[in-house]
Amino acid sequence: MKCSIMVLNTGSTSTKMAVYQGHSDSDEVNQVVLKEYTHSKEFLKDYPYMSDQLPMRRKIADEFVETIALLYAPFDAIVARGGILCPINSGGYEINEAMVNYLLNVSQEEHASNVAACIAYELAKTHSIPHAYIYDGITTDELEPISRISGIPDMPRVSVIHALNMRATAMKAAKDLEKNYEQATIIVAHLGGGISLSMHQNGKIVDVVGDDEGPFSPERCGGQQIIQLIKYLHGKNSIRDQLKVIRGNSGLSGYFGTNDARDVQKMIDDGNETAKLVYDALAYQIAKAIATLSVVTYGKVDCIVLTGGLARSKRLTDQVAERTGFIASTRVYPGENEMDSLANGAYRILSAKETAQPFLY
């Protein structure tokens, strides 16, 4: 089938929009235009919460449509990165009013992707786009029962990860291993502004290390000693302020005032010993989290995958691979690949290879 798909991805420091087109003789769509709008930390100080960013990012999306996207209209679908929803299945969901309401009024967690589906829903209505989807949202939850036990009876573990890039990259790694994704056992570490890890077995994400329980990252604190964290957060009046400490004002950003790992590596090159210690600790913690997941399958792992923007750092990936070599070999797929993953997910739905699910809560 021939189709045209608009893609929207709101990240912590960027808003990306693209157009993809596909034809019946291909299993994938091709990107025909991409526009990335970057947002500096200084600029974002005027928008302390994600809900504050909604009008600003909507204006950017409108500008993209008016100046670029309409050249490729009409669109068969728009697909956006999924935000902090209740636990959902892998695959695609139709964006509806219930989803938008959940992201704006129910979800209390701050995440850049929360505004994407809201904007996509409005764009679909404004420009008569027949379908608006999210695909492999970050609350994709396929955990095994044993992995849900947290130790607190009324608070089971949930899956909040970078599922979009993780599943797409795990499928790519399985193909490179000449295995079916459904038959491969792969640990994926997504190394971005936030870091999360997942164990892929029999075509499902059976266990995870979320960005709030594993390594710190460029702008998140990762797992902490709970009693120390409670003491530290004492006096923070609202849950939003507390979450801002955990997601946004910590990690490399907390130590050095920058969430750009390239800046930290330059500090290391210039002889900054603190920067070296913190950056080496980042690799150390990533490796520890990989080792934690390896016990899920009794150490039987086909490969370890490192992906995301930080996977471009050879200093980091070499250290992780060296520390985890006793588990399995490491494959590096730099970049977050989210735009392609979103577009191809929507294309599979449009071509009836998959079915979009309704969002209910």
Does residue 113 contact residue 61 with C-beta atoms inside 8 Å? Answer: no
Looking at the chain, how many residues does it have? 361
Of 53-62, 89-98, 265-274, 349-358, the one with minimum mean pLDDT is 53-62
Q: Per residue in 58-87, pLDDT tens?
A: 999 999 999 988 889 899 999 999 999 999
Kindly report the number of other CB atoms within 10 A of residue 116's CB atom.
29
**Tokens 């210690």 found at:** 277
Bond prior to 74 in cis (omega within 30° of 0)? yes
How far, in Å, are 69, 81, 243 from residue 56 at the CA level?
Answer: 18, 17, 22
Q: How confident is the model at residue 2 (pLDDT cuts 50, 70, 90)?
A: confident
Q: Is the pTM of this model over 0.85?
A: no
Q: Does 3-142+338-358 match 163-334 in CATH topology?
A: yes
Name all contacts of 111-114 with Cβ < 8 Å and 24+ positions apart. 111/50, 111/83, 111/84, 111/138, 111/247, 112/10, 112/11, 112/12, 112/50, 112/53, 113/9, 113/10, 113/11, 113/80, 113/81, 113/82, 113/83, 113/84, 113/138, 114/50, 114/51, 114/83, 114/84
357's tokens? 């699910």
134's tokens? 């999210």
Among left, alpha and beta (phi > 0; psi -120 to 50; other), residue 112 is alpha
Q: Per residue in 8-62, pLDDT tens?
A: 999 877 899 999 998 766 778 999 999 998 877 676 677 667 678 888 889 999 9
| Separation between Cα atoms, residue 209 and residue 198, nearest integer Å | 6
Q: What is the pLDDT of residue 37?
A: 87
Domain boundaries, the chain: 3-142+338-358, 163-334
Q: What is the pLDDT of residue 41?
A: 67
Q: What is the pLDDT of residue 1?
A: 64
The mean pLDDT of the chain is 92
Q: Per residue in 134-185, pLDDT tens?
A: 999 989 999 999 999 999 999 999 998 999 999 999 999 999 999 999 999 9
> Does CATH place domain 3-142+338-358 in 3.30.420.40?
yes
Q: Per residue in 188-221, pLDDT tens?
A: 999 998 999 999 999 999 999 999 999 999 999 9
Task: Write out the CATH class of domain 163-334.
Answer: alpha beta
Calculate what percentage of the chain has a pLDDT beyond 70. 97
Q: How confident is the model at residue 109 (pLDDT cuts 50, 70, 90)?
A: confident
